[in-house]
């Protein structure tokens, strides 16, 4: 049996004092943004437990900027703005500032100037909140080490040594398609998002897999693509009605495109959900006020952003105290299905 005594860590101090590890770090670093009573409590626990930061930990504490770098794109769209909202709320709660950089486009691969800027500002960690499109995440394997701090990515399929926080798009689309089957629809079309997006690929794959399992058709004529906008959804729906006339339901890859599907169905004299079932994806607040109210897959993008912050801070704390971070570097958040009138053909 080993006689080695377990070293007291910053997490032990935080647990004993009933505070976060960030608060303990601030007390050790003598930061002013800690209440006097909390400061005294933490110092008493440090003394009682005999906590001594390692040399690396002390150097990390001295150089902490309490700033997180955040890289995003497309803030004019609902998804990225909701993720950023979650990031800002969680960072504020944890006492961190943000250095925000926005890429000129989702698919931009010119990341060197942004990485250089983050290094110059000595951020404690980086959240890369840019959807994976094409090969725009290729830089992760090549350049992450130059940052010298933990990195959390909010969307990637690539194997990477960075931390990843994702929403399970496949599971969400699977729930949507199975729901339509359970409602008695058996000619289910699909309008995808742009297929260079990883999220679009996952949603389409789940739709196809569920229908194939049920022995139903997923040929080329049963699906078409939009670009997330309502206008593109209308064009896609028009094509789909023409090429798949027996269609009795549509799984739409986002709520904004689903809105135009509902409008076009009304123009064509189709009753929703009796003649056509419609399910969207995103769970935007407005979806409950569509006519009829839209069944949708609710992905909590605010939670995605806040979870990315907390995973990143845990990684920063682990490096500060020379601890090994959790073995799993991938957090997969589960969406939920909100069932409303647009798909309820079999009402009980």
Residue 43: inside a domain, yes or no?
yes
Give the rounded distance of the alpha carbon of 136 from its chain centre: 17
CB 104 within 8 A of CB 321: no
In the structure encoding, which two tokens stand for residue 94, read together? 């944890």
Note the pLDDT tens digit of each residue in 30-61. Answer: 777 788 899 999 989 988 888 876 554 554 45
Q: Are residues 73 and 103 in the same domain?
A: yes
* Residue 183: band (very low, low, confident or very high) from pLDDT cuts 50, 70, 90: very high
Q: How far apart are CA 32 and CA 14, in angstroms?
A: 18
**348 part of a folded domain:** no
At 246, list the tokens. Answer: 């027996």
Is 4 inside any structural domain? no
- Looking at the 3D structure of the chain, how many domains does it have? 3
User: Is residue 327 pLDDT above 80, yes or no?
Assistant: no
Same domain, 305 and 188: no
Q: Can you give the residue range of the structural domain that contains 16?
A: 10-63
Name the most confidently modeled range: 108-112, 113-117, 222-226: 222-226
Q: Is the pLDDT of residue 309 over 70?
A: yes
Same domain, yes or no: 238 and 321:
no
d(CA 225, CA 194): 6
Residues 95 and 216 in one domain: no
- pLDDT for 182 beyond 60: yes
Smallest CA-to-CA distance from 156 within 329, 277, 342, 340 is with 329
CB neighbour list of residue 118: distance below 8 Å, 6 or more residues apart: 69, 71, 99, 101, 126, 147
Residue 106 and residue 174 in one domain: no
Residues 178 and 289 grouped into a single domain? yes
Please indicate, yes or no, whether residues 130 and 157 belong to a single structural domain of this protein. yes
Q: Is 31 part of any domain?
A: yes
Residues 320 and 238 in one domain: no
Asked if residue 14 has pLDDT above 70, the reply is yes
The larger pLDDT score, comparing residue 80 to residue 240, is at: 240
Query: 4 pLDDT band (50/70/90 cuts)?
Result: very low
Which 3-state string (H, E, C) describes the chain? CCCCCCCCCHHHHHHHHCCCHHHHHHHHCCCCCCCHHHHHHHHHHHHHHCCCCCHHHHHHHHHCCCEEEEEECCCCCHHHHHHHHHHHHHHHHHCCEEEEEECCCCCCCCCHHHHHHHHHCCCCEEEEECCCECCCCCHHHHHHHHHCCCEEECCCCCCCCCEEEEECHHHHHHHHHHHHHHCCCCCEEEEECCCCEHHHHHHHHHHHHHHHHCCCCCCHHHEEECCCCHHHHHHHHHHHHHHCCCCCEEEECCHHHHHHHHHHHHHCCCCCCCCCEEEEEECCHHHHHCCCCCEEEECCHHHHHHHHHHHHHHHHHHHHCCCCCCCCCEEEECCEEECCHHHCCCCC
The residue-averaged pLDDT of 282-302 equals 95
Asked if 70 and 41 count as a contact pair (C-beta separation under 8 A), the reply is no
What pLDDT digit, counting tens, does each position of 76-89 carry? 888 889 999 999 99
- Integer angstrom CA distances of residue 204 from 200, 251, 281: 6, 9, 12
- Are residues 164 and 196 both part of a single domain? no
Enumerate the β-bridge partners of residue 279: 251, 295
7, 73, 322 from 52: Cα distances, Å: 9, 42, 12
Domain with 212 in it: what CATH number? 3.40.50.2300
Confidence bin at 74 (pLDDT 50/70/90): confident
Percent pLDDT > 90 in the chain is: 58
Report the mean per-residue pLDDT for the chain. 87
What's the CA gap between 17 and 69, in Å, rounded? 29
More confident residue, 183 or 321: 183
Q: Between 303 and 327, name the one with better pLDDT.
A: 303
Percent of the chain with pLDDT over 70: 89
The model's pTM: 0.79
**pLDDT tens string 138-162:** 777 666 666 788 899 998 776 566 7
Q: What is the mean pLDDT of residues 8-13?
A: 81
Beta carbons within 10 angstroms of residue 293's beta carbon: 17
Which of the four pLDDT bands, split at 50, 70 and 90, describes residue 134? confident
| Residue 3, domain member (yes or no) | no
Judgement on whether residues 196 and 74 belong to the same structural domain of the protein: no
For residue 43, the domain's CATH number is: 1.10.260.40
Give the lowest-confidence range in 61-75, 136-150, 233-247. 136-150
Residue 285 C-alpha from the chain's centroid: 17
Asked if 90 and 313 count as a contact pair (C-beta separation under 8 A), the reply is: no
Q: Is the pLDDT of residue 93 over 50?
A: yes
Q: Is the same domain home to 244 and 131?
A: no
Assess if residue 273 is contained within a domain: yes
Neighbours of 7 (CB within 10 A): 13
User: Which of 1-5, 49-53, 145-149, 269-273 comes out lowest in average pLDDT?
Assistant: 1-5
Do 309 and 163 share a structural domain? yes
Whether the per-residue pLDDT at 98 is higher than 60: the answer is yes
Cis, peptide link before residue 292, omega less than 30° from 0 = yes
């Amino acid at each position: 049996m080993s006689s080695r005594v377990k070293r007291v860590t910053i997490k032990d101090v935080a647990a004993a004092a009933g505070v976060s590890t960030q608060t303990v770090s601030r007390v050790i670093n003598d930061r002013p943004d800690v209440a006097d009573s909390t400061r005294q409590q933490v110092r008493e626990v440090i003394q009682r437990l005999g906590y001594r930061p390692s040399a690396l930990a002390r150097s990390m504490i001295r150089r902490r900027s309490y700033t997180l770098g955040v890289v995003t794109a497309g803030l004019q769209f609902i998804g990225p703005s909701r993720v950023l909202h979650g990031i800002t709320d969680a960072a504020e709660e944890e006492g961190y500032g943000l250095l925000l950089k926005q890429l000129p486009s989702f698919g931009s691969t010119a990341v060197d100037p942004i990485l250089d800027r983050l290094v110059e500002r000595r951020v404690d960690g980086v959240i890369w909140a840019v959807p994976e499109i094409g090969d725009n995440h290729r830089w992760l394997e090549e350049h992450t080490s130059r940052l010298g701090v933990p990195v959390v990515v909010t969307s990637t399929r690539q194997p990477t040594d960075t931390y990843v926080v994702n929403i399970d798009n496949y599971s969400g689309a699977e729930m949507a398609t199975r729901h339509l089957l359970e409602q008695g629809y058996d000619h289910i079309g699909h309008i995808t998002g742009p297929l260079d997006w990883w999220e679009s690929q996952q949603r389409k794959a789940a739709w196809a897999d569920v229908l194939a399992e049920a022995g139903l058709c997923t040929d080329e004529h049963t699906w078409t693509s939009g670009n997330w906008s309502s206008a593109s959804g209308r064009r896609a729906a028009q094509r789909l009605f023409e090429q798949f006339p027996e269609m009795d339901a549509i799984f739409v890859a986002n709520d904004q495109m689903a809105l135009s599907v509902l409008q076009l169905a009304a123009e064509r004299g189709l009753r929703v959900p009796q003649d056509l079932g419609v399910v969207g994806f995103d769970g935007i607040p407005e979806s409950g006020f569509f006519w009829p109210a839209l069944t949708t897959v609710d992905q909590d993008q605010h939670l995605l952003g806040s979870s990315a912050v907390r995973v990143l801070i845990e990684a920063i704390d682990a490096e500060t105290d020379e601890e090994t971070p959790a073995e799993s570097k991938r957090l997969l958040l589960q969406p939920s299905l909100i069932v409303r009138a647009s798909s309820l053909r079999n009402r009980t």
